[in-house]
Amino acid sequence: MNDSFLSKNLASLPSAVSEWIQTENTMVEGTNYRRVLSKTGDDTLVIDGVWIHSQFDPKKEALRFVTELPHDGTERIYLLFGAGIGYIIPYLLERPKVTILWMEPFPFLIFEAFRKFDFSEAFLSGKLVLITGEHLEDQLSEAVKGKGTHPISFVPHRGSWQWKESDYVRLKHIAEQMFHKKDVNLATLTRFEKIWVKNICYNLPELSKFRPVSDLFGIANGLKIVIACAGPSLSESIPELRKYRNQFLLLAVDTAVPILTSFGVDPDLIYSVDPQALNSQYLEDYKGEGILIFDPTSTYISLRLDKGPKKGFVTSSPFPLIQLLEKTSSGEIGSVPFGGSVSTNAASLGTLMGAEKVYLVGQDLSFTKGLAHSKGAVLEERLNYLESRKFRREKHNYKQLFALPQKQVLGNSNETYITNEKMLIFKKWFEDHTKENPWTNLTKFGAKLEGMEHSSFEREFLNVNNDSEKEKESVQNAKDLIQSKLMHNPSFFDQSILTKDLQNTITQLNEFVVLVKQGLSVSQRIYNQIKKNQINPKTFSEDIKQMDRIDEEVSQKKGLNEILSLGIQRVILTITEGYDEHLSLEEKEDPRLGVAKKSLLLYEGLFESVRSTKRMLTKSLYRLQTNLQDLRIER
C-alpha cells in the first residue's frame, strides 16, 4: 500500500468529494475486516468472512471479467457499482473512448483502493469519475452530461455485492431512476419546447395584470392547507372535504376543479401548470371564487375564457422569456419548486405559504381500482361526446392504463396497485422532499409515499378542544387577506414599460434575423461542399472566415439568444448532449460533415425561432396596446 498514491488521488478529486471521504472514513459498525495477501502475493480484503477479491489471483480475476464487458471501439460508459480496492479499473482505463463512473458507498474501501493504485491522472482527465457521499443522483447526472448517446454498461462488483448487496442494489436503483428521469425530462423538453414559447408570449398581456406568487409566501402561517389532486380516489374523499371545509385552505390542481365543483366544493386557490390547450377545459365553466396560481407556460387559452377565473398570482419561470415580464415588476415574482407535475408544485406552494401542515388528497400515483382518472374528470366527461359503437370510454381508460409499461407499487396497507414509470418519478419526488416539508397524505387509496405520514380527515380535523371556531376564523382571515392582495395599487407589473420592452425586442429580432439568415446561407454552403467533396480551397476558406465572424456576432447577442433558446431545445441537445437523431449515418461517420450539419441545424433552428418568436410577440404587443387603450377610454 502506498500513502503517496492516497494523497495524489485525494488531491485530484473535487474538494467536496475529497473532504467527505476523509471525514466519513470510518469502519461500518460491527464489521470484521482484515487485509490479507492472495496466493499470488497481491492485496485483497476479507470483510465479515467475504473475500472481496479472489483469494488466489485478484488481477487475473479482474482481467477475465473485463474481457467479458462490451467494447467496440466507440464511445462507451462503464458504470461500476463498487470496485473493491480497484483491480478492475486499470484494465478499463486501457480502453480508448471510455468513461468510467465508479459509485462506492463505503469510504474505507475508497481509501484502500487509493493506497493501492494511482488514479489521479484519470480523475483529472475526467476519464474516471468517483461518485460517492451525498446527492448521488445529482453527481451521476452531472457525470453523464454531454454523453447522452453513449451506451452504458452496468458493472456490479461481485465481491462487494456478496458482502453488502442491499447497499449496492440501492446504487443501481438510483442510477436507473436518474437515467429514466433524464429520458423523461428530455422527452418533455423536446416535445413541449414550441408550445412553452407560444404560451409565455401569448400570456404576457394577461399576466401583466396578475400579482406575484411571492405575495402568498407566509400568508397561511400556522394554518392547514389541503392539496386536492385529481387521482382516481379524489371523489371518495369528497364527503370529508365538505364536512371539514372551513378548517383549512383548499388549494386544488386545475384538473381536480370540475370534480370538486360538481360536488359543491369550491377551492380557494387553483394551480395551473400544464401547457396543453386541453387543460383550459378544466376551467371553462368555473363560476366559483377560486383564485388562479398560474405558471407562465400554462396554456394561454385559460386566461381568455368567457367564463372561468380571471385574476390571480403568477409564478416565476426558469425560462429566459419570462425576463420580459420580470423587468417590469416592482419586486420578486417568486419561484415555486417544480417536480414535474402540478401536484408537486401545489405541495411546494403550501409549504411556502407557511402552512403548519399540508395535506395531500387524491394523490393516488396509481391506477386505483383500474381507473386512470377520478370520476367526473374532464377527460372522462369529454367521452360523452366521443363514444360510439367502436369507441367506448372503457377502451379509452384501457389505453391510458397501458400507455406506458405497467409497474406494481405497495399501498399503505401493503395492498398492491398498478402504476407506471412516470408516476413513480413523482412518487420519488415526494419521498425525497417530505423530510423538509410538513406534508401528510390523506389519500384513501393508492401508492404509499415512503417517509410521509399517512392519516385521515377524522384524525386531523375532528376538533375536540372547542377550538374549531377560532380555527375557522383564522382560515377566513387568510382567505380575506389573499383576496385583498389582488386589490393592491399600483399594479405590480408596469404595462407601459412592458409595451416598450416588447417593441424594442421585436426591433432587435428584426435586425437579428438578417444576421441569422446570413449564417444559415454560409453554413449551407460549407455543408454542401463537404458533402459533395467539392471543396474549393479559396472559397471554402472565405466561407469559414465568414462563418467565424457570424458565429462571433451571434454569440454576442446574449439576451436574444437566451430568449430564443427555449424554442430550439432539440437542436441544442443535438449539439451539446449528443442527442444526434438529426444526423444521418454518413454525418455520424464523417466528423467534418457532422460538425457542418450541427452548424446548419443551429442556424436553421435560430432562423425559425426568430421568426416565430417575433410573430408571437407582435400579437401580444397588439393585445397589450389594445388593453391600455381601452383602459384610457374607461378613465
Average pLDDT value over all residues in the chain: 86
| Best CA proximity match to 334, nearest among 324, 346, 326, 343 | 326
- Rounded CA-CA distance 331/433 in Å is 28
What is the pLDDT at residue 538?
A: 86
Res. 199: pLDDT tops 90? yes
Give the integer Cα–Cα distance in Å for 500 and 634: 22
Residue 331 in this model has a pLDDT that exceeds 50: yes
- What pLDDT was estimated at residue 382? 45
- Judged against a pLDDT cut of 60, whether residue 387 lies above it is answered with no
The pLDDT of residue 598 = 86
* Helix (H/G/I), strand (E/B), else coil: 360: strand
The DSSP bridge pattern shows strands 357-361 and 211-212 to be unpaired
Q: Is the pTM of this model over 0.95?
A: no
Find the range with the poorest average confidence among 182-191, 239-248, 383-392.
Answer: 383-392
Calpha distance 412→613 (Å, rounded): 48
Q: What is the mean pLDDT of residues 446-458?
A: 95
pLDDT tens digits along 43-76: 899 999 899 999 999 999 999 999 988 887 888 8
The answer on pLDDT for 380 being more than 50 is no
* CA–CA dist 320, 562 (Å, integer): 6
Residue 447 per-residue DSSP state: B
**Burial class of residue 589 in the structure, from the number of CB atoms within 10 Å of its CB (0-12 exposed, 13-18 middle, 19+ buried):** exposed
Structural domain spans, the chain: 3-163, 209-487, 495-634
Give residue 573's pLDDT.
Answer: 66
pLDDT tens-digit profile of 520-534? 999 999 999 998 888
pLDDT value of residue 474 = 92
Q: Is pLDDT above 50 for 379?
A: no
pLDDT classification of 162: cutoffs 50, 70, 90: very high
Q: Minimal CA–CA distance to 303: which of 201, 189, 194, 188?
A: 201
C-alpha distances in Å from residue 221, one per residue of 266, 386, 554, 588, 602 = 22, 46, 49, 58, 49
Lowest-pLDDT range of 164-173, 500-509, 565-574, 587-596: 565-574
| pLDDT confidence of residue 591 | 82
Q: What is the pLDDT of residue 354?
A: 96
Predicted pLDDT at 338: 83
Pairwise pLDDT comparison (628 vs 476), residue with the higher score: 476
* pLDDT surpassing 50 at residue 396: no
Taking each helix axis as running N to C, give the angle between helix 558-565 and helix 591-634, from 0 to 180 degrees, rounded to the nearest 10: 90
